[in-house]
Amino acid sequence: MTKRGRWAQHPELLQERSRNGVVRASDLESLEMSSRTIYTRCLPGGPWQRLLPGIILLHSNEPTAEQLVTAGLLHGGADAVVTGTEACVRHGLRPAAMPSEMGLHLLIPHERKVRSTGFATMERTTRLPPSIVRDGVPLAPLIRATTDTVRRLGNAEQVEAILIEAVQKGGCHPKALLRELDHGTQRGTAVPRRLLTSWVDLRSMAESRAKMLSQRMPSPPSHWNAAIYDREGHYIGRPDALWEDVGLVWEVDSFDFHFRKSDYARTLARNTRYAAAGLVIVQTLPSQLRDDPDRVLADLTSAHRVAAARPRPDFHLTTAA
């Protein structure tokens, strides 16, 4: 007669030892289940499946995201921390802003010899961050998760989208992201470093996208962030972009995009000063730059045509240092 372990008489022990239906093979063996039985049940057509070496899912259906994360943490061992896109999404960034098929990225203590395998990338680090636990999952702080994501990407547009999302939705400052890049590995940091360095000197990151878009115009802006004055020397404004030859100004505005929320009355007063000085103004939301850049480009081109068809208004400017 075949001897069977405690798990056969008490199948509820399997669920007690598992988390989200995921369990270490060693925990199953502690219930007197042989390794042969474990892996036989994981063969094609069997009731279980192996997610990672030594990590078993107690059903044969498609694993959920939660089960994959649980498997990765069990594989990484104590102190393992989820980083990368999974952590970014769990911190509240939009999944649509994240590249697909990057797999699960975890940080583990440098002395731990656990290899990357399957869907799980294990990164040994001497700079293991303190974790932020959300829904039972230890996450790297958003700044670290963001930089861990972008340094693994080679596509500048994807890098830009993630960094913008981290600043706009996550409240990360470009300077803080730069500091994190400085302290970590330098591999894969050239593109995000270039973008973040330019953003530190701009009033908003939307201007970065605006600059890229404006280069598609027949006549790009002549100045960025230049202070405009009327003939008596009274200050008019400092538009994001200016076409000095025709008196066209472009403002990229949003209450929830800039680091400090602008006052609505001040925005109205600014636009009134532009109109009183005879300047043509185009006002754009950052979401329009992202979602409908062709429409923004058409609006700018049309406004430039209108501005060029009339006498240039009388104003002068100084360029921001």
Helix (H, G, I), strand (E, B) or coil at 27: helix
Provide the whole-model pTM. Answer: 0.68
Count H helices, E strands: the chain?
Answer: 14, 15
Q: What is the pLDDT of residue 263?
A: 56
Homologous superfamily assigned to 206-319:
VSR Endonuclease (3.40.960.10)
- Tokens of residue 205, six digits: 């990151």
Distance CA 37, CA 31 (A): 12
Q: What is the pLDDT of residue 256?
A: 45
Q: pLDDT per residue over 196-248, tens digit each?
A: 887 775 455 677 788 888 988 989 999 998 999 998 889 999 999 999 999 99
Q: What is the pLDDT of residue 62?
A: 94
Q: Which residues of the chain have pLDDT under 70?
A: 1-12, 201-205, 254-264, 319-321
Q: pLDDT per residue over 244-264, tens digit each?
A: 999 999 998 764 444 444 456
Distance CA 91, CA 61 (A): 28
Least Cα distance to 141 among 183, 103, 113 occurs for 183
For residues 104, 105, 106, 111, the Cα torsion angle rounded to the nearest 10 degrees is 130
Delimit the CATH 3.40.960.10 region(s) of the chain: 206-319
Q: What is the pLDDT of residue 303?
A: 96
Helix (H, G, I), strand (E, B) or coil at 51: strand
For residue 4, give the H/E element and its range: none
Q: What is the pLDDT of residue 5?
A: 56
Distance CA 106, CA 95 (A): 18
